[in-house]
Structure 1
């Protein structure tokens, strides 16, 4: 992996982790002229995914990389609405009507699955600048000094550069000696995705119409609050229910578990 050469040269890059971060890094490296292979331990088949905010500073790069944003089926955020915990009436409304004019790009809300597929297509498709990214699954071992990646069947691959993008339980971080302290947070959150058509059919309010991030509670700095985010073009509502950790039963919960 060491080189004494100066100046720009095309690199062979291995990106460990095929999530949002790994795909974004891979697209950027592809557009910069490098050859990229992503290594991922999973096939993404079981992903459910929450909503993801993509403000102007993120949207800028989607345009820079020429990502087909329509594939992500996003909602353009129009408002932030804070509601009373008991009555549901708006306490405050922050209008984002001038957001694009001020910051240059819109504020998107994506469903994680759709954003992932959008970035994966951009990274691996033949169209567009740079060599299409390769995606390989089920790697077993990583040697950062030599750039060598080993698979369960004994086959190996070697790169000039290894990029770690393997998430909160990062193997790469551990290999380079970084062991972050992990301790419980003061609050916990339960997450659920609900199809808008199901909510409407059950006689509930169609909150997709507002194109807004909506909040219930939390005005008195308490952990008790609900956050709602529309995504998938408004066809999906993503709910986050926050509460103090001590009110939940987390005896069997572990890092990396469910």
Structure 2
């Protein structure tokens, strides 16, 4: 059985929560999980119009989505948003920690405030969301963190804090796989390489440099990232946990 958008309905009846889901990779993940039959709640920070447009587009295709305003760096707001959805639907089956920021700068210029913001959004918020979601997850629960290939390779200057924040997710994911495994909950990282979004266009100023570092010299698409997330969220990935799955065109090869 397939949805109107031709995705298999392997998430039918599931309740999913995606942080930072109004644009780019996050929006593609929301569309994909909704297309596979899940009811998808997602957060946004400032993009209210884009968030509501995404909800309407999903509903027009017969899917179900809800948008909630919450800054990922605000632990109370994020916890409340997750608790609200889990209470409304009685459980949570899938958590995708997608919200993230990319602040760059050489060590001489990179402020402590930017460092703290990077950690707050890219690391602390992931821990906060997992802590809020796990009490509402049963056996078969899925947690998927959107990390980066830069956790393994940062071949240009200015990305130290960002690379560090994404590397931190590897340790968090591996450690939590031991805590959550006995409960039948899996946790994994998806590690994209250069991906075509408004923030990182495939024909942007840095595209040629990035492509020169890759085995497949092109940007990935947000839908390609969403496809890997959908796999990890499915029953097909029941034996995958504590893993980091690169989807980077060979950037880190």
Q: Do these two structures clear the TM 0.5 threshold for a shared fold by scoring above it?
A: no
TM-score under structure 2 normalisation?
0.32
TM-score under structure 1 normalisation?
0.31
Higher relative contact order (CA 8 A, sep 6+): 1
Structure number with bigger Rg: 1
More strand by share: 1
More helix by share: 2
